[in-house]
Amino acid sequence: MIAIVGGTGPEGSGLAQRWARAGESVVIGSRDGERAKAAAAQIAEKAGALGNVEGVENAVAVKMCDIVVLTVPFAGQADLLKQLKPLFRQGTVLIDATVPLAAAVGGRPTRVLGVWQGSAAEQAQEIVGKNVVVAGAFHSLSATVLNGDGDVDCDVIVCSDDDGARQVASELAAKIPGVRAIDGGKLENARIVESMTALLITLNIRHKVHGAGWRVTGLGI
């Protein structure tokens, strides 16, 4: 099962819908259990009969699953992970999609904040400790496109210090039609990938679109 913490938001619900369509069992996590249940019902209706979607509080979602995907705004990332840290299973794979946009402190969404650890993903790894392995991924996927019905024309760059976590994140990316996973190297490279998301937002604004994405060429994969 895949827990999506922050699963009631646009990004989390879009990922949940795509994975449910691929036949995966998805647990929507939220601070409000009733809100999570309502979101899960809506996602299940859109996804069809293949997958299974349920909604629970964040703490319950983390206890239930060995794969946790974090899709919350940067402003709430650290506090939430500190609360959830004792609840992670040993060896849980945490896939962090957080982007430290300046909007978290009232700034522009086209700028990123400096993070002491280097990136939001590295901050997540520092908080959750060695019992949990972290991969940074899914930063580049448009929530608008994810919540649609067409293929997602975008590569996902996966950064991690753990080969197993990188593989899990890459396999989940490949379950989304049109998406290709790219090995982005160590977790420290997530700081580059996260900052690229701010550029995507800039491109969306300047070109009056909602689904700009990346394609990496010349890799032969």
219 found inside a domain: no
Kindly state the helix (H) or strand (E) to which residue 181 belongs, with its residue range: strand 179-183
The DSSP secondary-structure symbol of 68 reads: E
Spatial distance between the Cα atoms of 23 and 39, rounded to a whole number of angstroms:
18
216 found inside a domain: no
List the CATH number of the domain containing 143. 3.40.50.720
The tally of domains found in the chain comes to 1
Could you read off the pLDDT tens digit of each residue along the chain, which spans 221 residues?
999 999 999 999 999 999 999 999 999 999 999 999 999 999 999 888 677 999 999 999 999 999 999 999 999 999 999 999 999 999 999 999 999 988 888 888 888 888 899 999 999 999 999 999 999 999 999 999 999 999 999 999 999 999 999 999 999 999 999 999 999 999 999 999 999 999 999 999 999 999 999 999 999 87
36 found inside a domain: yes
User: Among 152, 160, 154, which residue's Cα sits nearest to residue 190?
Assistant: 160
Predicted structure pTM score: 0.95
44 found inside a domain: yes
Rg of the Cα trace of the chain? 16
213 found inside a domain: no
The answer to whether the CB of 131 falls within 8 A of the CB of 86 is: no
60 found inside a domain: yes
Domain that holds residue 142: 2-207
